[in-house]
Amino acid sequence: MSVSPAPDATATTPPRLRFAPSPTGFLHVGGARTALFNWLYARQTGGQFLLRIEDTDRQRSTDESTRAIFEGLAWLGLDYDEEVVFQGANLARHQADVATLLASGAAYRDFTPAAELERMRAEAEGAGQAFRFDRELAALTPEQEAAKLAAGAPFAVRFKVPDGVTDWVDAVHGRIAFPNKDIEDFIILRSDGTPVYNLAVVSDDIAMRITFVMRGDDHISNTPKQILLYRALGAPVPRFAHVPMIHGTDGKKLSKRHGATAVGDYQHEGLLPSAMCNFLALLGWSTGDDTEVMLRDELLARFSLDGLQKKAAVFDPQKLDWMNGQHLAKLPLDEVMPHVYPAFERQGVSTRAELESRDTWFRTLVELLRVRSRTVDELARQAVPYFVDTVEYDADAVSKQWRDASAVAEILSATRERLASLPTWEPTSMETALRALAEELGISGGKIFQPLRVALTGQTASPGIFDVLVVLGRDRSLDRLEAAVRWLKSDVVA
């Protein structure tokens, strides 16, 4: 009883993979990473990447979740081939497969009432025993079964687990084996006629001709059941790769307590999809060398099953931020712009229409700010001084750079005068003029630049001061200097 590691068919034909989330919550980062690995492998090998929504749990499935999955995948740039498959639409096939299993004797009807089962389980657990369904409990003579059937008694269908050992060569773990005696005769069809997860998955994967199943390693113990089902249905067993889970900082399964876990949250916090993919890929996979920052194409080129990790990875938001900063600074500007507009709207700094109306100017500003930001939302926040009519002076900036108000007022008004007299408004002449002024006043350049920065932005931190002057433009810069001088003088009096 053993499974060949890679059937010849899958070795020569491009693989077919799938991502099969259940729409019972938002697209989780763990799910997103599984999808990413599947997508990467499919795209890299020239195979197909399919999407299946496992909506058989009617109680918990919602359209909203389904939409979140579509949106999340779209945002990450994980496109899929062929039509989306909704598992719930395949009920008839699931039932037909169960009928096949019943007919071949690979499965049997169990008329034991659910309540009775529950009672036995509670009793066993109360006695500290593990409850395992005993096939004999359902044993009926053909006459008895016919009678129950005729009477319309409800029954569930159980798979008859054969003797032996079920094993497979996992692409990340190597050989994994389960003695069949540890697997109980699991239910494949409920008494209401609906299929149970393991049956639906196998039935759909066979119908979708999936040759490679890559999923979270929480499915390892489902795998032997599914392999048994493939065999009983006479279908080829696909290749399996069980990738490690993603945990929170406390080592536990990632959940709400750990902060944002939905990819939509990151999208709305100003993260870039390429950074998210890069970061997620590095959780449970590595290139083998020291490469970490990889733009989409490089990730696609370098991804390999060999680099897959066995150990669960802890999600570190700080590293995600750093990664995003790297992408924000390195991506072609055209690729980051589409993500910048929504951030400015989210932060209430400006509107897309307004920004697009002065595109050249805006791109210059983004270019200046992006190396200093870790997210596009942070970038938008840093851009505030370039959009407001009057700057607010930060209290710390004032106490630090405008300590000696009257002296600073003098310096700033001299600065204003010097700048106003310039024939052109460009960095080199401004710098020459202001450095000359500093020398005349017998002070260091910083004694001019720092107070000037506060006058222009209200902050102690900003891009290079001459870039700020250029972005602000001559009129606004001179106005702000004048306002600062006025403020300083009135403040001294007050």
Among 49, 75, 108, 178, binds RNA (CB under 7 A): 178
Tell me the C-alpha distance between 336 and 347, whole Å: 17
Burial of 194 (0-12, 13-18, 19+ CB in 10 A): middle
Among 97, 110, 204, 377, binds RNA (CB under 7 A): 110
Residues 22-51 that bind RNA (CB under 7 A): 22, 24
Nearer to RNA, 23 or 238 (CB): 23
Judge contact between 156 and 190, C-beta under 8 A.
Answer: yes
**Binding of residue 326 to RNA (CB under 7 A):** yes
Min dist. Cβ of residue 356 to RNA (A): 26
Min dist. Cβ of residue 169 to RNA (A): 11
**Binding of residue 219 to RNA (CB under 7 A):** yes
**Binding of residue 273 to RNA (CB under 7 A):** no
Judge contact between 263 and 27, C-beta under 8 A.
Answer: yes
Nearer to RNA, 57 or 345 (CB): 57
User: Of residues 181, 256, 310, 400, which has the active-site annotation?
Assistant: 256
Among 283, 336, 343, 391, binds RNA (CB under 7 A): 283
Tell me the C-alpha distance between 183 and 256, whole Å: 33
Task: Give the closest residue to 461 by CA, choosing from 400, 376, 389.
Answer: 400
**Binding of residue 316 to RNA (CB under 7 A):** yes
Among 62, 144, 221, 406, binds RNA (CB under 7 A): 221
Residue 256 annotated in active site: yes
Min dist. Cβ of residue 191 to RNA (A): 3
Phi, psi of 151 (to 5 degrees): -80, -5
**Binding of residue 358 to RNA (CB under 7 A):** no
Nearer to RNA, 12 or 318 (CB): 318
Tell me the C-alpha distance between 423 and 434, whole Å: 14
Judge contact between 133 and 183, C-beta under 8 A.
Answer: no
Min dist. Cβ of residue 147 to RNA (A): 18
Burial call 390-423: b when 16+ CB within 10 Å, e when fewer: ebebbeebbeebbeebeebbebbbbbbebbeeee
Token pair, residue 112, equals 């034991």
Number of residues that bind RNA (CB under 7 A): 89
For residue 49, what are the β-bridge partners? 17
Judge contact between 278 and 299, C-beta under 8 A.
Answer: yes
**Binding of residue 311 to RNA (CB under 7 A):** yes
**Binding of residue 412 to RNA (CB under 7 A):** no
Applying CB under 7 A, the span of 3-11, 93-101, 130-138, 413-421 interacting with RNA comes to 130-138
Among 70, 131, 230, 361, binds RNA (CB under 7 A): 131
Cβ neighbours of residue 403 under 8 Å, at least 6 residues apart? none
**Binding of residue 128 to RNA (CB under 7 A):** yes
Catalytic residues: 256
